[in-house]
Structure 1
């Protein structure tokens, strides 16, 4: 061994090592993570896969990341690719192929494109689009309204069951599982359950969705009782024509806005949304403004009086 590293094993091609790693990961990580890992081989260029694993350095990794961004892969996807690549090379270090993870020496490149901004509905806007959706399919329209008042992620809405509906001490939904399309049932994003309140506006909707169902049945289903599928829902509701430029995920942002606008504490909103960090929740405060911002604007718009904050004194004019 040379410094604890086997020189012979370091000559193995990246592709062969990657195949070994993927086989291990298939049995040791969540299904969604395994899907992301499998994309690693598809996205990695042939020249990189054919190199000896010990010959991969910071330059080669940076080149791959920059090329992916240049080819149109979203910045978030490049970051996920980098995370998977780092996990792979971390495993290579543990297998004594080399001593230093080359991905740790790089940073994911930033896109020059404008980031996708959150675009929540105001409460009145949500009611307007609900009416448009209801004209096409009342049940799906009700489910979209439920998302707008509960902030459920799409995969969580696909997994919530009738038995997750709580009536006492207060109405709510227990969110403890997720069902991403193409992945299958799994735990929630942070692997923690949470209780999301049900406002009066959606209580009747939840009651109707629960009607004639067993506790183990899915709560949010189509008219035929089938699970939700994004493409079918978007098509049925004519989303491009009816949703005023929003995404389904903007319904989650809408719920946060509705709660904060009614004075719910940001820490409580963090718990209801299932955010790991309060910094994530604070993005909504920046978007909506705080009570102090609104009070400040009211002062700016108030008629100017002799003793107003903008008034001048004799000292000021000297």
Structure 2
């Protein structure tokens, strides 16, 4: 029998449901009512036949213990930078939650944690935390520790949180060339040219550090094939942050800089190697180029923002800019840089007002004509 009647020592009756796979009992649970025992038994048998069965004892493992096993399983399968990001994010899992059994965690528990985190963190940080914790619970499902992923059903509450988002601070073309000139007076031409390459191609530092001669194409037009990255202190990654290779055109004098840099080099040689031929360190480059003294308050990453804003200001369409930057969607590009896109009506209105305000003579009379409609 799969559901048996039991007479307890005090004379009360209970019912024990046992789930079998072949001749082996894989789960057992006792109920006070036979109907409850039958319902539980049937649901477990159905899960067993569908391959969805989870041993109730497996879910008793603590969240903290399972997190450690998950982290060990991830090592060697994902980039070291990703592991560092996950490790940092998981510091937000409180001790009380770490000590709870996996099977006891519900979506509401995670939502309570999100709310608590947003008292001190930006909402985007909390969303990234959810994006880290969800694969962990998916792993637990795959390991038959729990039946479903509670993070999938959880939602990050609305709000902005407390920390300040870093402002985008791009250069104008004139400012970028002025910074390039200042760097030339303090460092080598190659060091100075790197700033111009970053500012006019929009590639990330790690992508520039990993750039090989074979990644430079000359036909049908000069361009870079971005498929690798070398973050500081980490091995070369054979995938970029965006997850897909992309082609970035080389325009103007940047094409000349890059094509000159690869002359006489082997296909696997680095385009912008260090003095020893190895990949450049971003921190070392900033030191050698005297970046802080000459950057006019910008970060190196603002060079990427510079390229994006220059493209959009000069009416390169948003989908093309998304592709050149390696963003996952045009929406991401629009959210970051949409305010640099002007339309024809804006341009015409600004040109008209500039023309009016630039007229010599009585500015008051000009404004009066505009307000009365005497001049159209």
Q: TM-score range by the shorter chain?
A: 0.7 to 0.9
Q: Distance in 2 between matches of 1:111 and 1:47?
A: 23
Q: Does 1:49 align with 2:98?
A: yes
Q: For residue 151 of structure 1, report the CA deviation from its aligned partner.
A: 0.6
Q: Which runs of no fewer than 5 residues in structure 2 stay unpaired?
A: 1-26, 28-39, 44-52, 357-365
Change (3 A) 1:267 1:292: farther
Change (3 A) 1:215 1:201: same
SS at match of 1:228: coil
- Larger RCO: 1 or 2 (CA < 8 Å, sep 6+): 1
| Aligned residue in 1 for 2:58 | 9
The TM-score with structure 2 as length reference comes to 0.72
Q: Does 1:276 align with 2:328?
A: yes
| Aligned residue in 2 for 1:296 | 349
Q: Which deviations, in whole Å up to 9, do the C-alpha atoms of 1:278-318 show, x marking residues without a partner?
A: 223334241353343222222334446999797279xxxxx
CA contact (8 A) 1:90 1:101 kept: yes
Q: Which runs of no fewer than 5 residues in structure 1 stay unpaired?
A: 314-318
Q: Which deviations, in whole Å up to 9, do the C-alpha atoms of 1:254-280 show, x marking residues without a partner?
A: 112222333333332222222232223
SS at match of 1:270: helix
| Aligned residue in 2 for 1:311 | 373
Q: Distance in 2 between matches of 1:240 and 1:150?
A: 21
Change (3 A) 1:120 1:53: same
Structure with max Cα Rg: 2
CA contact (8 A) 1:267 1:278 kept: yes
Q: Which deviations, in whole Å up to 9, do the C-alpha atoms of 1:152-188 show, x marking residues without a partner?
A: 0122111111121111221111112222234422212
Q: For residue 23 of structure 1, report the CA deviation from its aligned partner.
A: 3.1
CA contact (8 A) 1:136 1:237 kept: yes
Q: Does 1:121 align with 2:183?
A: no
Q: How many residues align?
A: 312
| Aligned residue in 1 for 2:280 | 228
- The 5 Å alignment of 1:1-318 reads 3=43, 4-26=53-75, 28-65=77-114, 76-104=124-152, 105-107=154-156, 110-138=160-188, 139-184=190-235, 185-282=237-334, 283-303=336-356, 311=373
Q: Distance in 1 between matches of 2:223 and 2:343?
A: 26
Q: Report the aligned-residue RMSD.
A: 3.1
Q: For residue 191 of structure 1, report the CA deviation from its aligned partner.
A: 3.0
Q: For residue 145 of structure 1, report the CA deviation from its aligned partner.
A: 0.8
Q: Which deviations, in whole Å up to 9, do the C-alpha atoms of 1:47-68 show, x marking residues without a partner?
A: 3322222222345434544555
Q: Distance in 2 between matches of 1:154 and 1:76?
A: 23
- Say which is worse superposed, 203-212 or 303-312, in terms of deviation: 303-312
SS at match of 1:196: strand
CA contact (8 A) 1:140 1:222 kept: no
CA contact (8 A) 2:122 2:163 kept: no
Q: Distance in 1 between matches of 2:368 and 2:122?
A: 55
Q: For residue 126 of structure 1, report the CA deviation from its aligned partner.
A: 0.3
